[in-house]
């Protein structure tokens, strides 16, 4: 079975968040299961592209509205990632450094989708399935069925995986002309709320959609930035499949990015050494419970709550709890966190920026990982934390709800709280501090969480079962 994954991100080619981790791992595991899974993504001028060898496997020109554009499809030569990687390069449009936030993002992603479809169409490829991730490839299911140009491929099954239902990629009907020739009687399938909405269109036109956790599937019907009714209507087409983690990269036994490797057997000493290295880096005492946060400093992640919650926790446990923050995002939150570090230099330290290697050390060296997310479709941070024996403190939402059991419940290992509020975080931190003081209990929980299996083996299989289930329809 030949499958194309279409995504804006893929680790280690270009990563902004968890989407990259998933698209960098799932196809690899699918190939190990006997599929032929490939990734086709936009070209970004980044380290991975500069350090690896690519060949041009296709070149042509196409139309974006009235504008002709030239594109190349580049293939990474050695399949170093465990799958075929194709990049769509379009001079002046898809040859930049950053993944998102350009003013012509709409044009960028439409051109990416057109180039992909033209390539497989003109080179006479017939994939068994096209797997779209988020809104960036959300027009593909519509175009396959309702553009005369791609008639040959109209029966190709499509799957949409929703990693983040907050972003839709919506744009005005005034830009309809950017799309290739389509059946104008079908434009309703592009529309949501008076605009062209690629995520909504994908939900309507894909054969099946998935969300990255079962709870998120339900949450989208009442919290999806305006698409609630659509998700309610299309609910029967959806399935929740929890993400896995790439254990080739996230494994405390073999991780080359941490100072001390460890396994369940060597857990206590291993954690201690990593904690010592992390605390030294951040000028914190290694003898106090250490609670960390890693992630985008945005409202979705509850990052705006962090300054008050950390301040309150430090005041509630004077000299009794330390914090490390690794992230970047809203300037107001960044500034408030830096001010907190200035106020409590011995209890709170902050790294504003993105640092993959440092993230590994934070997972390995922290005692607790705080995730006060307002929205968390799956969340990978808590899965990495579990793998590294770090107790997740999570808000009970989305994938966090599906993957973390409170240590007060049978078989539990984490700390959960209900509201995205400073008060609830303070209470959860209080429980963490008490837990830290009962070392044998904490060690037991750490062993329990490290033994959990969140590898891709299980989830990759669920995707394949879903693909297979489309066969009778074909």
The residues, ordered by sequence, that sit 6+ positions from 361 with a Cβ below 8 Å of its Cβ are: 257, 258, 259, 274, 277, 278, 281
User: Which strands make up the sheet holding 54-64, listed edge to edge?
Assistant: 54-64, 67-76, 84-89, 36-42, 2-6, 129-133, 158-162, 208-211, 238-240
CA-derived radius of gyration, the chain: 23
Is 385 a binder of ligand GLC (CB under 6 A)?
no
372 contacts 382 by C-beta, under 8 angstroms: no
Helix-then-strand count for the chain, H and E = 16, 17
Is 376 a binder of ligand GLC (CB under 6 A)?
yes
**CA–CA distance, 380 with 399 (Å, rounded to integer):** 9
Pick the binder of ligand GLC from 136, 163, 341, 395 (CB under 6 A).
Answer: 163
Which of 17, 414 has the CB closer to ligand ADP? 17
Nearest CA among 235, 243, 196, 207 for reference residue 219: 235
Tell me, by CB under 6 A, how many residues bind ligand ADP: 18
Pick the binder of ligand ADP from 14, 160, 380, 420 (CB under 6 A).
Answer: 380
Is 380 a binder of ligand GLC (CB under 6 A)?
yes
Q: Which two tokens stand for residue 173?
A: 């009907």
Q: Which does 63 bind (CB under 5 to 8 A by kind): ligand GLC, ligand ADP, none?
A: none
Is 49 a binder of ligand GLC (CB under 6 A)?
no
Which of 296, 427 has the CB closer to ligand ADP? 296
The number of residues making up the chain comes to 474
Q: Which stretch binds ligand ADP (CB under 6 A): 15-23, 39-47, 51-59, 401-409?
A: 15-23
Is 326 a binder of ligand ADP (CB under 6 A)?
yes
**CA–CA distance, 355 with 335 (Å, rounded to integer):** 19
Pick the binder of ligand GLC from 6, 115, 364, 378 (CB under 6 A).
Answer: 378
**Binding to ligand ADP (CB under 6 A): which residues in 267-296?**
294-296
**CA–CA distance, 401 with 417 (Å, rounded to integer):** 10
Q: Please provide residue 385's backbone torsions phi and psi, each rounded to the nearest 5 degrees.
A: -60, -45
Pick the binder of ligand GLC from 7, 31, 210, 243 (CB under 6 A).
Answer: 243
Q: Which stretch binds ligand GLC (CB under 6 A): 14-22, 75-83, 147-155, 358-366?
A: 14-22
Q: Which does 295 bind (CB under 5 to 8 A by kind): ligand GLC, ligand ADP, none?
A: ligand ADP
Q: Which stretch binds ligand ADP (CB under 6 A): 172-180, 218-226, 353-361, 410-418?
A: 353-361
Nearest CA among 296, 360, 351 for reference residue 326: 351
Is 392 a binder of ligand GLC (CB under 6 A)?
no
DSSP assignment of 238-260 equals EEE----B-TTTS-TTT-TTSSS
Q: How far is CA 255 from CA 26, 59, 356, 433, in A?
A: 19, 39, 12, 28
- Write down the least CB distance from residue 18 to ligand ADP, Å: 2
Which of 28, 75 has the CB closer to ligand GLC? 28
Q: Which does 133 bind (CB under 5 to 8 A by kind): ligand ADP, ligand GLC, none?
A: none
Residue nearest to ligand ADP (CB): 18
Is 327 a binder of ligand ADP (CB under 6 A)?
yes
- Write down the least CB distance from residue 390 to ligand GLC, Å: 17
355 contacts 278 by C-beta, under 8 angstroms: no
Which stretches of the chain bind ligand ADP, using CB under 6 A?
17-19, 21, 294-296, 326-328, 354-356, 359, 378-381
Which stretches of the chain bind ligand GLC, using CB under 6 A?
17-19, 22, 163-164, 212, 243, 376-380, 399
């Amino acid at each position: 079975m030949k499958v194309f994954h279409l995504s804006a991100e893929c680790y280690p080619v270009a990563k902004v968040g968890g989407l990259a981790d998933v698209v960098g791992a799932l196809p690899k595991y699918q190939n190990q299961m006997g599929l032929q899974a490939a990734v086709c993504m936009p070209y970004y001028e980044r380290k991975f592209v500069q350090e690896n060898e690519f060949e041009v496997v296709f070149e042509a020109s196409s139309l974006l509205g009235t504008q002709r554009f030239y594109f190349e499809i580049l293939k990474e030569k050695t399949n170093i990632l465990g799958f075929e990687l194709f990049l769509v390069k379009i001079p002046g449009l898809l040859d930049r450094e950053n993944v998102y936030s350009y003013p012509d993002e709409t044009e960028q992603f439409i051109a990416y989708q057109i180039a992909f479809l033209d390539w497989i169409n003109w080179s006479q490829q017939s994939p068994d399935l096209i797997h779209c991730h988020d809104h960036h490839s959300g027009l593909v299911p519509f175009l396959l069925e309702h553009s005369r140009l791609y008639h040959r491929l109209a029966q190709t099954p499509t799957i949409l995986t929703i990693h983040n239902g907050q972003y839709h990629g919506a744009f005005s009907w005034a830009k309809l002309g950017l799309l290739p020739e389509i059946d104008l009687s079908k434009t309703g399938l592009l529309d949501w709320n008076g605009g062209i909405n690629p995520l909504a269109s994908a939900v309507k036109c894909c054969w099946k959609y998935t969300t990255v956790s079962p709870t998120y599937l339900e949450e989208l019907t009442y919290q999806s930035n305006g698409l609630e009714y659509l998700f309610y209507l299309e609910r029967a087409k959806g399935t929740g499949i929890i993400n896995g983690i790439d254990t080739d990269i996230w494994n405390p036994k073999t991780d080359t990015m941490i100072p001390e490797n460890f396994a369940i057997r060597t857990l206590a000493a291993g954690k201690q050494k990593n904690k010592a290295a992390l605390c030294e880096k951040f000028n914190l005492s290694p003898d106090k419970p250490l609670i960390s946060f890693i992630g985008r400093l945005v409202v979705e992640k509850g990052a705006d709550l962090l300054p008050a919650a950390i301040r309150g926790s430090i005041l509630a446990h004077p000299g009794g709890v330390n914090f490390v923050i690794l992230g970047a995002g809203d300037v107001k939150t960044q500034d408030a966190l830096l001010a907190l570090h200035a106020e409590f230099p011995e209890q709170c330290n902050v790294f504003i920026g993105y640092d993959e290697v440092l993230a590994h050390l934070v997972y390995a060296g922290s005692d607790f990982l705080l995730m006060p997310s307002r929205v968390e479709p799956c969340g990978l941070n808590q899965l990495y934390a579990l793998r590294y024996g770090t107790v997740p403190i999570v808000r009970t939402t989305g994938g966090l709800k599906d993957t973390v059991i409170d240590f007060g419940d049978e078989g539990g290992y984490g700390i959960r709280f209900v509201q995205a509020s400073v008060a609830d975080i303070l209470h959860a931190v209080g429980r963490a501090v008490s837990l830290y003081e009962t070392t044998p209990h904490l060690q037991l929980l750490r062993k329990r969480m490290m033994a959990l299996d969140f590898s891709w083996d299980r989830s990759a299989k669920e995707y394949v079962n879903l693909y297979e289930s489309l066969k009778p329809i074909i």
